[in-house]
């Protein structure tokens, strides 16, 4: 695992396969069940059962993840020790209080299953089971990756006891945990002043990613307490982002033994918390500290060594809550609708444009706020008028209510063009829209007529014609 991870082979690909498919398969399920029964009576019975099943499933289906309602609804938490439920209750309660349906299970629960009849039972998975060697039931590494590949979200927290399974999941997501299983992050410069921790493994970090969409618009004032293992993000994976980095003096090693080799991870290259925004809109958060979510660190005060600022509460609660909001699509999920274009002065969309036409283009972009679609306001949405390469690339102006519009002249090149809106921003789901439109040249009767420059030619023709007419008469009848 580790070698493969370090070489950087094909990690990014696994999380980016396929587009999100949110099709409910209930009808196909029913068809199958009906086919199984041949007699009429049985069929009647099945119909009744189907009706009951449909009625009882209806509320569940209504609540589940859909493109129109992208926030997750059902969250599965896998634990390796049920006491985590209590020791990390603030985090879980904040998720529950936001309306999520949280289901706790032991990671080795023999009945564990993510899907039934080909349909996923959960929208998000929280893996708080670092020491699990293998999941119970039918779930395995491939199962977790398929879950993510189908557009679902994942939160993974590891610690010193991280098993190969957990490390493999992280590697597949573009994050490599330190191969040395006894190594943890140590920082002798930026550690938390504490009465009880003396080996500088409880570190503080305030090197956050600068992104309001990931961490919320309120700045995390107090630093975050962290105790756990280091990871690095795979350079070959362009989708993974470091959200919380270690300080330059940090390193990853076993605190109780002398170093014989330079540490594999050191300095700000150590990522403490990373996220992945996959192309299918699945979101993943990976961290090497399960303690970071614990009530103890959430409630604890924090003082960085050598810093006189003492905070009565660490930034952990705000940090993990805001990050979980992002992971569960309560923020930063965009949709674009009503892509329209027409000639200036008209309202209908034409089937074809002529070169040099003036056109108006508009698109509406909304952001999901967790409850409703709110207008998305930004000043960097761009449209491309594209044929093999962009002929026009223009920044759209917004009316602050979600409508983005611009106008431009169709280039004097004819062919089949596309309107393209490619919007990839840090932390936001990507938008990729395109609409094909042909552009034709002038018709022959659309060119300019009666050009003064041509008058001498016309004059010459017509005078010649008039002269011919007169000459023909004169020649014939002169005596």
Partner 1 sequence: MLEDEDEVRRKKQRRGRIGMAGSLAGFLVLILAISICEAASIFQPISDSHRSAALDLFKPADGSFASLEETYEALRTFEILGINKKPDLSTATCGTVSKALGSSSSTPKDLFDALRVNSILKCNINAEVFEGIISRLQAAVSGASSLLDFYYSIGSLGLIKDQTSKADLHLSDAEGIFRSIKALSQSDGRWRYSSNNPESSTFAAGIALEALARVVSLASSEVDQSMIGTVKNDILKLFDSIEKYDDGAFYFDEKVVNVPEHSGPLSTSSSVVRGLTAFTTVATGSLNLPGDKILGLAKFFLSIGIPGDAKDFFNQIDSLACLESNRQGFHSTDPVTSIYSGFIDEERKLNGVSPYIGSVLICRLVKVNTVLGSKAPPLTVKLVRAYSTSSKDTSIIEDKELSFDPERVVYFLDALPDSVDVGSYIFVFKVVLHDSEHKDVFVTGTLTHVQIFMTGLVKIGNAEIVVLDNDLGSIETQRKLDLAGENAVSLSANHLQKLRLSFQLTTPRGSAFKPHQAFLKLRHETKVEHVFLVRNSGKKFEITLDFLGLVEKLFYLSGKYDIQLTVGDAVMENSLLSDIGYVELDLPEAPEKAPRPPPQVVDPYSRYGPKAEISHIFRAPEKRPPQELSLTFSGLILLPFIGFLIGLLRLGVNLKNFPTSSVPVAFAILFHVGIAAVLLLYVLFWLKVRLFTRFFHFANDYKSVGHFGSIHDIEDTEFLGSFLDVRWTQDPFTSGLSIIKVEICLRMKEFPLQERVVSIWTLCFKFCRTPFSKLY
The interface with partner 1 within residues 302-341 (CB under 8 A) comprises 305-306
Judged by beta carbon, residue 369 or residue 395, the one nearer partner 1 is: 395
| Smallest distance from partner 1 to CB 385, Å | 8
| Smallest distance from partner 1 to CB 477, Å | 4
d(CA 331, CA 215): 10
d(CA 213, CA 206): 17
Q: Which of 45, 337, 344, 460 binds partner 1 (CB under 8 A)?
A: 460
d(CA 420, CA 413): 17
438 binds partner 1 (CB under 8 A): yes
Judged by beta carbon, residue 60 or residue 466, the one nearer partner 1 is: 466
Q: Which of 24, 27, 117, 458 binds partner 1 (CB under 8 A)?
A: 458
Structure tokens belonging to residue 447: 């060119």
| Smallest distance from partner 1 to CB 273, Å | 14
DSSP run (H or E) holding 103: strand 101-106
Would you say the C-alpha torsion 80, 85, 88, 93 has a positive or negative sign? positive
Q: Report the site for partner 1 in 385-404 (rule: CB under 8 A).
A: 385, 387, 390-395
| Smallest distance from partner 1 to CB 320, Å | 13
Place of tokens 């223009």: 394
* DSSP state string for 220-268: --SPEEE-S--EEE-TT-SSEEEEEE--TTEEEE-TTS--SS--SSBGG
Judged by beta carbon, residue 99 or residue 267, the one nearer partner 1 is: 267
Judged by beta carbon, residue 153 or residue 317, the one nearer partner 1 is: 317
Q: Which of 3, 40, 116, 443 binds partner 1 (CB under 8 A)?
A: 443
| Smallest distance from partner 1 to CB 426, Å | 5
Judged by beta carbon, residue 210 or residue 217, the one nearer partner 1 is: 210
Q: Which of 23, 51, 62, 82 binds partner 1 (CB under 8 A)?
A: 82
| Nearest of 363, 349, 354, 342 to residue 410 by alpha carbon | 354
| Smallest distance from partner 1 to CB 224, Å | 18
Residue 401 CB partners (closer than 8 Å, separation 6+): 375
Binding residues for partner 1, total number by CB under 8 A: 110
Query: At residue 55, what are phi and psi to the nearest 5 degrees?
Result: -65, -40
467 binds partner 1 (CB under 8 A): yes
| Nearest of 231, 200, 209, 241 to residue 319 by alpha carbon | 209
261 binds partner 1 (CB under 8 A): yes
Judged by beta carbon, residue 93 or residue 338, the one nearer partner 1 is: 93
Tell me the residue ranges of DSSP E strands in 158-230: 175-177, 184-187, 203-205, 207-208, 224-226
Q: Report the site for partner 1 in 224-253 (rule: CB under 8 A).
A: 233, 235-236, 238, 241-242, 248-249, 251, 253
| Nearest of 293, 312, 311, 317 to residue 88 by alpha carbon | 293
Query: Among 22-30, 58-66, 67-75, 450-458, which window interacts with partner 1 (CB under 8 A)?
Result: 450-458
97 binds partner 1 (CB under 8 A): no
Residue 233 CB partners (closer than 8 Å, separation 6+): 174, 175, 176, 240, 241, 242, 271, 274
Q: Report the site for partner 1 in 181-200 (rule: CB under 8 A).
A: 186-189, 193, 195-200
Q: Report the site for partner 1 in 124-163 (rule: CB under 8 A).
A: none
Residue 102: Cβ-neighbour burial (10 angstroms; 0-12, 13-18, 19+):
middle
110 binds partner 1 (CB under 8 A): yes
Q: Which of 3, 40, 116, 449 binds partner 1 (CB under 8 A)?
A: 449
């Amino acid at each position: 695992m580790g070698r493969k991870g370090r070489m950087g082979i094909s990690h990014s690909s696994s999380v980016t396969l396929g587009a999100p498919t949110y099709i409910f398969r209930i009808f196909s399920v029913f068809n199958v069940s009906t086919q199984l029964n041949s007699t009429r009576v049985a069929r009647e019975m099945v119909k009744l059962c189907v009706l009951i099943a449909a009625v009882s499933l209806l509320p569940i289906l209504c609540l589940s993840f859909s493109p129109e309602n992208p926030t997750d609804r059902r969250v599965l938490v896998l634990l390796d020790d049920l006491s985590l439920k209590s020791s990390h209750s603030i985090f879980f309660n904040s998720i529950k209080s936001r309306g999520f349906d949280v289901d706790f299970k032991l990671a080795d629960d023999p009945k564990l299953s993510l899907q039934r009849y080909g349909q996923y039972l959960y929208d998000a998975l929280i893996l708080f089971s670092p020491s699990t060697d293998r999941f119970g039931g039918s779930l395995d590494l491939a199962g977790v990756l398929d879950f993510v590949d189908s557009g679902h979200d994942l939160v993974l927290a590891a610690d010193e006891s991280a098993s190969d399974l957990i490390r493999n999941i992280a590697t597949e997501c573009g994050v490599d945990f330190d191969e040395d299983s006894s190594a943890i992050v140590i920082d002798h410069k930026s550690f938390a002043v504490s009465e009880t921790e003396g080996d500088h493994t409880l570190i503080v970090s305030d090197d956050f990613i600068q992104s309001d969409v990931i961490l919320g618009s309120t700045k995390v004032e107090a630093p975050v307490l962290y105790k756990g293992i280091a990871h690095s993000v795979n350079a070959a994976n362009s989708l993974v982002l470091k959200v919380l980095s270690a300080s330059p003096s940090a390193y990853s090693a076993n605190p109780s033994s002398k170093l014989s080799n330079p540490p594999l991870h050191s300095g700000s290259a150590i990522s403490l918390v990373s996220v992945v925004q996959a192309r299918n809109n699945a979101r993943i958060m990976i961290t090497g500290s399960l303690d970071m979510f614990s009530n103890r660190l959430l409630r604890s005060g924090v003082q960085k060594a050598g810093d006189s600022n003492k905070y009565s509460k660490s930034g952990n609660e705000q940090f993990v809550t805001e990050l979980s909001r992002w992971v569960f699509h309560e923020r930063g999920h965009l949709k674009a609708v009503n892509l329209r274009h027409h000639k200036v002065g008209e309202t209908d969309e034409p089937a074809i444009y002529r070169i040099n036409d003036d056109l108006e283009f508009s698109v509406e972009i909304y952001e999901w706020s967790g409850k409703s679609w709110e207008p998305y306001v930004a000043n960097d949405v761009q449209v491309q008028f594209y044929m093999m390469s962009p002929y026009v690339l223009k920044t759209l102006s917004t009316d602050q209510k979600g409508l983005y519009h611009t106008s431009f002249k169709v280039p004097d090149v004819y062919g089949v063009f596309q309107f393209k809106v490619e919007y990839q921003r840090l932390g936001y789901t990507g938008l990729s829209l395109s609409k094909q439109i042909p552009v034709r040249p002038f018709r022959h009767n659309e060119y300019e007529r009666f050009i003064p420059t041509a008058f001498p030619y016309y004059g010459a023709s017509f005078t010649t014609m008039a002269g011919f007419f007169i000459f023909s008469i004169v020649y014939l009848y002169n005596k």
